């Protein structure tokens, strides 16, 4: 068994970190982050962590690279302060979309991030809803993936699903969406989506399944610029969907996402707080609903500390 459990937070998502520790009934660890005029970062842990079981919460949100480097420096500081075990808690994994070598002479950056975390001193990783499950294979240390599916399922089960259908945004998301459809006990459809370049814009060209007269629920792991969601909503409306709602885990909401989503004719957009959503963004998207992941992460941290199974939570 490890020593006392302590939880620290980087500067990326303090609201979520406070929610997690409040659920766990314990305070956040004390630390100080200093950013100098030359853009260097200094992290000082302001309490004793010797032989402690330490968890470090840091999500991936702008500025992404700064937050990643801050996390690495914090882990390194904890390691040399003699923490017994360090678990990096990453609600949204950095560079998660760079998970394969689909072009010549590029970096598989998600694998590089895994290597950096290990080099910095992380003994294990806890994350949620990876863009591709294969990222878990990049780690030589224990890594656990939580899924937001139970959180989103519980929310949509409060709605009338008598005429609903879950829609996968492309063939790659079909298995992921299929689990969600099974939990809701509704049929599933799949959009045939093609992406032709790096512009983050995709074109929906066909639909496998039936949505005519149905309440469609688009289900995906993340939403970036909103272009894919808008395109999916367009084809669903054209094929007779009565309503279009969206459930995604990670609200990246980059670029002109707010403008794109406001023109997408959505009835509801449901996301989690794995990435902070600014008050301005929430106000600009009146159909946005943000669900908390604090209890999910808090329970997972308690299980890891106590040596209990994480997979039981997903079951």
Q: Are strands 268-272 and 288-291 parallel, antiparallel or unpaired?
A: parallel
User: Same domain for 91 and 9?
Assistant: yes
By residue range, what is the domain housing residue 76?
Answer: 5-147+294-314
User: Same domain for 216 and 252?
Assistant: yes
3-state secondary structure of 296: helix
User: Same domain for 255 and 302?
Assistant: no
**72 to each of 4, 140, 154, 211, 213, how far by Cα in Å?**
22, 17, 35, 46, 50
Using one digit for the tens of pLDDT, what is the confidence trace for 106-137? 999 999 999 999 999 999 999 999 988 889 99
Closest CA to 31 of 18, 42, 20, 15: 42
User: Same domain for 143 and 153?
Assistant: no
Q: Is the peptide bond before 2 cis (omega within 30 degrees of 0)?
A: no
Asked whether the beta carbons of 211 and 240 are under 8 A apart, the reply is yes
As a whole number of angstroms, the distance between CA 229 and CA 211 comes to 16
Q: Which long-range contacts (CB under 8 A, 24 or more apart) does 130-135 make?
A: 130/93, 130/96, 130/99, 130/221, 131/93, 131/96, 131/97, 131/99, 131/221, 131/222, 132/96, 132/99, 132/100, 134/99, 134/100, 135/93, 135/96, 135/99, 135/110, 135/111
User: Same domain for 124 and 186?
Assistant: no
User: Same domain for 85 and 43?
Assistant: yes
Q: What is the pLDDT of residue 169?
A: 86
Lowest-pLDDT range of 1-5, 38-42, 108-112, 161-165: 1-5
As a whole number of angstroms, the distance between CA 219 and CA 222 comes to 9
As a whole number of angstroms, the distance between CA 193 and CA 172 comes to 10
Mean pLDDT of 260-280: 97
User: Same domain for 100 and 204?
Assistant: no
Closest CA to 9 of 127, 241, 19: 19
**31 to each of 8, 11, 28, 48, how far by Cα in Å?**
8, 10, 9, 11
Q: DSSP code of 224?
A: S
Catalytic residue among 6, 193, 214, 230: 193
User: Same domain for 181 and 276?
Assistant: yes
Asked whether the beta carbons of 141 and 124 are under 8 A apart, the reply is yes
User: Same domain for 64 and 127?
Assistant: yes
Number of domains forming the structure of the chain = 2
User: Same domain for 237 and 196?
Assistant: yes
User: Same domain for 162 and 105?
Assistant: no
- CATH number of the domain encompassing residue 130: 3.40.50.2020
Q: What is the pLDDT of residue 199?
A: 52
User: Same domain for 218 and 255?
Assistant: yes
79 a catalytic residue: no
Using one digit for the tens of pLDDT, what is the confidence trace for 35-89? 999 999 999 999 999 999 999 999 999 999 999 999 999 999 999 999 999 999 9
Asked whether the beta carbons of 158 and 202 are under 8 A apart, the reply is no
Using one digit for the tens of pLDDT, what is the confidence trace for 168-220? 988 878 888 999 999 999 999 998 866 555 555 556 567 889 999 999 999 99
3-state secondary structure of 73: helix
Q: Are strands 31-35 and 41-45 parallel, antiparallel or unpaired?
A: antiparallel
């Amino acid at each position: 068994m490890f020593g006392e459990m302590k939880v620290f937070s980087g500067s990326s998502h303090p609201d979520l970190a406070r929610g997690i520790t409040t659920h766990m009934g314990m305070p956040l660890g004390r630390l100080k982050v200093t950013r100098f005029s030359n853009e260097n970062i200094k992290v000082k842990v302001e309490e004793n962590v010797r032989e402690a079981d330490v968890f470090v919460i840091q999500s991936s949100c702008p500025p992404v690279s700064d937050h990643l480097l801050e996390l690495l420096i914090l882990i390194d500081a904890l390691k040399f302060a003699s923490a017994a075990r360090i678990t990096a808690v990453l609600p949204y994994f950095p560079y998660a979309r760079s998970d394969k070598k689909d072009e010549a002479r590029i970096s598989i950056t998600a694998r590089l991030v895994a290597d950096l975390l290990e080099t910095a001193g992380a003994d294990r990783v806890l994350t949620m809803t990876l863009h591709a499950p294969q990222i878990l294979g990049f780690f030589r240390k224990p890594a656990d993936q939580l899924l937001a599916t139970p959180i989103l399922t519980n929310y949509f089960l409060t709605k009338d699903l008598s005429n609903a259908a879950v829609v996968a945004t492309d063939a790659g998301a079909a298995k992921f969406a299929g689990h969600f459809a099974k939990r809701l006990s509704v049929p599933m459809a799949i959009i045939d989506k093609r992406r032709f370049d790096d512009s983050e814009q995709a074109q929906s060209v066909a639909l496998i399944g039936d949505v005519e007269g149905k309440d469609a629920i688009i289900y995906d792991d993340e939403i970036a610029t909103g272009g894919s969601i808008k395109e999916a909503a367009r084809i669903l409306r054209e094929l007779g969907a009565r309503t279009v709602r969206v459930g995604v885990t990670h609200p990246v909401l980059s670029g002109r996402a707010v403008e794109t989503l406001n023109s997408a004719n959505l009835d509801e957009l449901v996301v989690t707080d794995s990435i902070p959503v600014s008050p301005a963004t929430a106000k600009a998207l009146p159909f946005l609903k943000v669900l908390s992941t604090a209890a999910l992460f808090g329970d997972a941290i308690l299980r890891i500390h106590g040596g209990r199974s994480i997979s039981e939570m997903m079951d």
